[in-house]
C-alpha cells in the first residue's frame, strides 16, 4: 500500500474567503511529495520526501559537520505520546530522502521533519504531517511523572524538583546506570551524547534540545532569544536543557546510546 500525505506546514493551504476571493498559500517551505509505503505496525515501511523551497526548487544544501544540528531530523510520535521514532536520514544529491521505518505500534502519528538548511535566515525549521499506521489503536493514558524509568535494564533517575516555565530555559539533572549499577558511558549518536525530544500532550507541539560532549560546538537550542545547552560533566550524568514554547503537560523522550544500543527513556513533565 502506498499513501501520499498532505503536508500540513503552517496552515499554508489555499482558502476561499467570503466574496469569492481565493487567498493564495504563503510561499513557504513544504514537503513534496511525502509518501509512505506499507504503513503497518511491525512491517518494514519506507518513507520518502523532499523539501521544496519557497521558489519551487528542491532544498539540496543542508548543514553538515560536527554536532547534532545538521541535515534533517525525522521524528514520528504516536498521538498518545506512547512512542517515538527518531532518524537522521541520509541526503541524496537531488535533495530527496528515503528512509526505512518500522513503526512500533499501530495508530495515528505526527510526522516532524526538522530541517537544518545551509543557507537560511533561521537555523532550522519544521514541517509537519500525519500518518495512520494500520491496526487496532488503543490510546494509552499518559503516566504521571515518575522520577525513575528503567529501560532494558538501564536506569534513568531524575534528581531534584523540576520547576519549568514556558520560554524559560531550565535544566533537568539525570543519572543513568547500567544493569550492573555502574555509570553509563554515552557514545555520540546523531552528533550528540543525548537527544531530548519534547512533545506537548494534546496539541503535539514539539521542541528538541541536546546534550553534547564537553567543548563541543553547535549544540545550543534556541526559542526566540532564549537559548539552552545541555551538558554532561561526568560519566552517567546528563544535564538536560528544557526550553518549551507553551505551558502544559509535556512528554520528554530522552535518547542516548550506551553499550552500542540506543535507549529511549520517556518522562512526563508539567510546564507552567
Ligand atoms: Cu536530536
Distance 128 CA to ligand 1 centre (A): 17
Does 111 lie in the same domain as 163?
no
Which residues have CB under 8 Å from 117's CB, separation 6+? Answer: 59, 61, 62, 63, 124, 125
Mean pLDDT, residues 99-117: 94
**Structural domain ending residue among the three candidates 63, 98, 133:** 133
Backbone angles phi, psi at 197, to 5 degrees: -110, 125
Quick: pLDDT tens for 149-192: 999 999 999 998 778 999 999 999 999 999 999 999 999 999 99
Does 152 lie in the same domain as 108?
no
Distance 94 CA to ligand 1 centre (A): 24
User: Range of 71's domain?
Assistant: 2-133
Does 266 lie in the same domain as 227?
yes
Average confidence score pLDDT of the chain: 88
Q: What CATH number did the domain enclosing 211 receive?
A: 2.60.40.10
Residue 140 lies in a domain: no
Does 48 lie in the same domain as 92?
yes
Q: What CATH number did the domain enclosing 43 receive?
A: 2.60.40.1930
Does 184 lie in the same domain as 256?
yes
Q: Where are the beta strands (DSSP E) in 212-247?
A: 221-223, 226-228, 237-242
Distance 145 CA to ligand 1 centre (A): 22
Distance 192 CA to ligand 1 centre (A): 7
Residue 95 lies in a domain: yes
Among residues 265, 248, 272, 7, the alpha carbon closest in space to that of 125 is found at 7
Does 114 lie in the same domain as 21?
yes
Q: Is the pLDDT of residue 11 over 60?
A: no
Cβ count within 10 A of residue 27: 11
Scanning the structure block, which residue is given the C-alpha cell 469569492?
20
Q: What is the tally of helices (H) and strands (E) in the chain?
A: 0, 22
Backbone angles phi, psi at 20, to 5 degrees: 75, 15
Distance 255 CA to ligand 1 centre (A): 8
Give the number of domains in the chain. Answer: 2
Out of 40-44, 188-192, 193-197, least confident range: 40-44
Amino acid at each position: 500500500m502506498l499513501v501520499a500525505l498532505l503536508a500540513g506546514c503552517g496552515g499554508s493551504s489555499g482558502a476561499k474567503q467570503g466574496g469569492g476571493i481565493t487567498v493564495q498559500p504563503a510561499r513557504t517551505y513544504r514537503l513534496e511529495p511525502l509518501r509512505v509505503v506499507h504503513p503497518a505496525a511491525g512491517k518494514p515501511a519506507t518513507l520518502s520526501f523532499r523539501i521544496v523551497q519557497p521558489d519551487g526548487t528542491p532544498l539540496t544544501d543542508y548543514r553538515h559537520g560536527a554536532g547534532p544540528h545538521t541535515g534533517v531530523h525525522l521524528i514520528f510520535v504516536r498521538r498518545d505520546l506512547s512512542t517515538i521514532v527518531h532518524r537522521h536520514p541520509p541526503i541524496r544529491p537531488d535533495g530527496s530522502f528515503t528512509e526505512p521505518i518500522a513503526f512500533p505500534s499501530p495508530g495515528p502519528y505526527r510526522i516532524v521533519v526538522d530541517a537544518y538548511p545551509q543557507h537560511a535566515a533561521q537555523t532550522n525549521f519544521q514541517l509537519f504531517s500525519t500518518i495512520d499506521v494500520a491496526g487496532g489503536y488503543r490510546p494509552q493514558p499518559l503516566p504521571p511523572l515518575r522520577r525513575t524509568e528503567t529501560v532494558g535494564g538501564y536506569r534513568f533517575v531524575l534528581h531534584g524538583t523540576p520547576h519549568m516555565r514556558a520560554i524559560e530555559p531550565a535544566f533537568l539533572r539525570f543519572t543513568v546506570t547500567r544493569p550492573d549499577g555502574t555509570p553509563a558511558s554515552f557514545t555520540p549518536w546523531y552528533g550528540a551524547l543525548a537527544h531530548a525530544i519534547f512533545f506537548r500532550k494534546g496539541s503535539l507541539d514539539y521542541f528538541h534540545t541536546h546534550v553534547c560532549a564537553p567543548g563541543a560546538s553547535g549544540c545550543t537550542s534556541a526559542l526566540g532569544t532564549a537559548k539552552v545547552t545541555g551538558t554532561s560533566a561526568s560519566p552517567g550524568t546528563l544535564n538536560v536543557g528544557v526550553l518549551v514554547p507553551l505551558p502544559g503537560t509535556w512528554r520528554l523522550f530522552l535518547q542516548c546510546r550506551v553499550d552500542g544500543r540506543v535507549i529511549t527513556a520517556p518522562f512526563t513533565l508539567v510546564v507552567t
